[in-house]
Structure 1
Amino acid sequence: MNLNKRVKLLSLSVSTVALFFSTAIYAQSDRLKVHKKVLYNMTFQMDSLNTASKTTELTELLLSDTVSLFRTLHKAEQDATYAAYINNKVIQLSAPVVVTIGKINNLNYQILKSNTGQIKVYDEYSGSNLNHVKEINYYTEPATAMDSWKLSSDTITIDQFLCQKAEIDFGGRHWTAWFSTEIPISDGPYKFGKLPGLILRLEDSSKTWKFEFQSIQNVDEDIELNKKENVEIKKINKDKLFKDRRYYQKNMLSIMESNGGSIAEDRKAAQERLNEVIRKDNNWIEL
């Protein structure tokens, strides 16, 4: 391992970082004092039949003394912009909302994880970008969600870290993870964790979803989640959230019209285009 990476890891505890939910985590505005940041590239193929539909998003795993947060950097930038508006009232947010027909933002989540295995997921407006956000939904995963890892003796080296193989079935997929005990953090991308080291690579068996470690660094950041005006935070059943997301997608045109929107093209042609987009959006991370 090169010297720079060793220096980055000097402040890591020899024991696994303890992450847990305090009762405050369920307040309407969650605050985190972040001391470490891990970046992953997330590559995914939204049409399972078309490799050309692959795209890559940069994501971050933020670690505090009590909880970890996983989200895309795009989500982080959106929230930072909105927070600046709330604090200073200097950003004009009244521009018309531009909607791409059939496009559903199902990467709009914020995932909080504890060392007991509890997972809490915030998701805004059921992942739809049809209108301004009116409510933030959240649901929880059972504490046993990450208890069925099967460890292997297989090892590889990733970015000069020695990694061990582990496998798990989750969200309708079979996943293979490579984790390193050289980074003693029991966490990883998305909802994954509870291994004896940080997950550096994670891929499903269809090879259409993949997370790859990019960097780890010490930081000193204060983050406040869900700092938004006139927004209700509402608990929802996970299955209902996924069902609602599909409902919004399939009924996008009528929902737009009922909210006073207009369609700039022939209604029938717009519906056909919507149906085609939905047909190709068939490979969500949880099936």
Structure 2
Amino acid sequence: MNYKKFQFNFVANIKSKKKFKMKKKLAITLFLIAISQFYFAQTTRFIYQVSMKSDSTDKTNVTTENARLDISPEKSLFYGEGRIKRDSIIQRMRETRNFDRNTMQNLRTSIDYIVEKDLVKNITYFKTRLGRDQYTYEEDRKMDWKILPETVKIGEYETQKAETFFAGRKWYAWFTQDIPFQDGPYKFKGLPGLIIKLEDEKGDYSFDLQQSKKITEFPNFDNRFGNPIKVKRTDFEKQEKIYRKDPVTFVTNSFTQGGGPTPPQSMGGGNRPGGGGFRMDPDFRKQMEDRLKEEVAKNNNPIEILSK
């Protein structure tokens, strides 16, 4: 065989194999990108089990509820499953003006907030109720993560551990790159994959992924109870401190200042005379005062530790 021809064929074969390998790698890369884009094009609901030790005087008392993290390419919503049920029943009560106090008493939830994340603009909004008013603010604190070398398999997912200090607590998160969402429960986000498990250093709060499924649309919370009051986070925290110090006075003042839904009133002269004020049903007032005092007393260990 001619040596030059043999050498040419040999080199050509090597180049052909290299091209084949490059094409194969490119095909795999394009396939992974396509899968990722398809995954992101879906709206997915992740259901977490949330465990809370809200009472620092009784750490054996653990409240457990389910919460949802709904994610689309543009935004995500984190909220309690109990919130959906409660809002629907309360809305029906408002429409019929038929307030069943026993039913309302059974609708209490510890996840009485909504966290909405604009994934395009990288903005997090927190929405909750203080007294009878709805508040919303934009989260202005940066979440700095330290990714640790520790890995562990949680369920079907390979996860890696990370840590951060946020809102007065040190948090540990286990995230997986198998799910290409840089998101997680509550306000947590920014890791290179979905947060599967999250807990604070003291074990007071934990979020554990239970299941996921595709959904067609987000629940609609907008304007269900009027427009929320937009404030800065620091101003909201000031209001929260006032509420925790004296919840009865806080709520009573919000009633007498008008606006928002009206509570049950006394049968005689219960309307607002002269366009201002009202006379609240004494039994309802007593129940409200007892409930507010009990809630604040038992919820002395909030997820975010307020500065003094």
Same fold per superposition (TM over 0.5): yes
Letter in 1 for 2:63: T
Name stretches of at least 5 consecutive residues in structure 1 with no aligned partner: 1-9, 19-32
Q: 2:68 aligns with which of 45, 60, 71?
A: 60
Q: 1:218 aligns with which of 211, 214, 220?
A: 214
Letter in 2 for 1:241: F
Name stretches of at least 5 consecutive residues in structure 2 with no aligned partner: 1-31, 257-277
Residue correspondence of structure 1 range 1-287 to structure 2 within 5 A? 13-14=35-36, 35-81=43-89, 85=92, 92-95=96-99, 107-115=111-119, 116-124=121-129, 126=130, 128=131, 131=132, 135-142=133-140, 145-146=142-143, 148-228=144-224, 231-254=226-249, 255-256=251-252, 260-261=279-280, 278-287=296-305
Tell me the TM-score normalised to structure 1 length. Answer: 0.72
Indicate the RMSD between aligned Cα atoms, in angstroms: 3.7
Q: 1:261 and 1:34, CA in 2 relative to 1: closer, same or farther beyond 3 A?
A: farther
Q: Secondary structure at the match of 1:78?
A: helix
Name the count of aligned residue pairs: 246
Letter in 2 for 1:118: I
The answer to whether the Cα contact below 8 Å between 2:83 and 2:109 also exists between their aligned partners in 1 is no
CA displacement at 1:203 relative to structure 2: 0.3
Relative to total residues, which structure has the larger helix share, 1 or 2? 2
Q: 1:190 and 1:285, CA in 2 relative to 1: closer, same or farther beyond 3 A?
A: same
Per-residue CA shift, 1:175-234, capped at 9, x if unaligned?
A: 0000011111111100001111110100001101000000111121253222326x2332
Q: Secondary structure at the match of 2:43?
A: strand
The answer to whether the Cα contact below 8 Å between 1:82 and 1:228 also exists between their aligned partners in 2 is no
Tell me the TM-score normalised to structure 2 length. Answer: 0.67
Higher relative CO (CA 8 A, sep ≥ 6), structure 1 or 2? 1
The answer to whether the Cα contact below 8 Å between 1:117 and 1:194 also exists between their aligned partners in 2 is no
Letter in 2 for 1:164: Q
CA displacement at 1:117 relative to structure 2: 3.1
Per-residue CA shift, 1:248-270, capped at 9, x if unaligned?
A: 344344445966346659x8xx9
Point out the structure with max Rg over C-alpha: 2
Relative to total residues, which structure has the larger strand share, 1 or 2? 1
